[in-house]
Amino acid sequence: MKVVVDTNVLLTAVYWRSKNYWIRQALEREQITLCVTTDILDEYTEVFANFYDTYTAELFLSTLEILPNVLYINKYFFWQLIPQDPDDEKFADCAVAAGAEYLVTNDRHFNTLKKITFPRINVVNEDEFRRIFEGKFEAEL
């Protein structure tokens, strides 16, 4: 399952007591493929270093570098789908370029993507994504 994960969700997935820790575990178990671009990684680095500390940020991001299920995407087109917050564009562009199944975020600016029919981006919040994820793995049992 290819996904793009907004910084606000991934940030909370690092801490083992977080309700989103399961996302980190799914990533480390190679149950999901995380799609990223260099500008997304830059944002992860900046926000993680501000929220945690530089060491924790570097440790987590170096883990992303070695995981085989982290897919580095090159964007060749900039869709400009989120005029309310141009800084969020990188996640939408990555989702389109990667053909990601889901863009996981809690940011309300992404709700505008739900109204766009082309390119289609499935935007879900962390709770919706968990239900989808659990349903997928229950179906495979």
| pLDDT tens per residue, range 43-98 | 999 999 999 888 888 888 899 999 999 999 998 877 777 778 778 899 999 999 99
Q: What is the mean pLDDT of residues 107-136?
A: 88
- The alpha carbon of residue 47 and the mean position of all alpha carbons in its chain are separated, in whole angstroms, by 14
Q: Where do the DSSP E strands lie in the chain? A: 2-5, 33-36, 70-72, 102-104, 123-124
Can you tell me the distance from the alpha carbon of 109 to that of 124, in angstroms, rounded to the nearest whole number?
Answer: 12
The reply to whether the predicted model has a pTM over 0.75 is yes
**CATH numbers and ranges of domains, the chain:** 2-140 (3.40.50.1010)
Query: What pLDDT is stored for residue 141 in this prediction?
Result: 40
Secondary-structure breakdown of the chain: helix, strand, coil percentages, each rounded to the nearest 5: 55, 10, 35
Cβ-in-10-Å burial (0-12, 13-18, 19+) of 76 comes to exposed
Cβ atoms of residues 116 and 134 within 8 Å: no
Contact 109, 55 (CB under 8 A): no
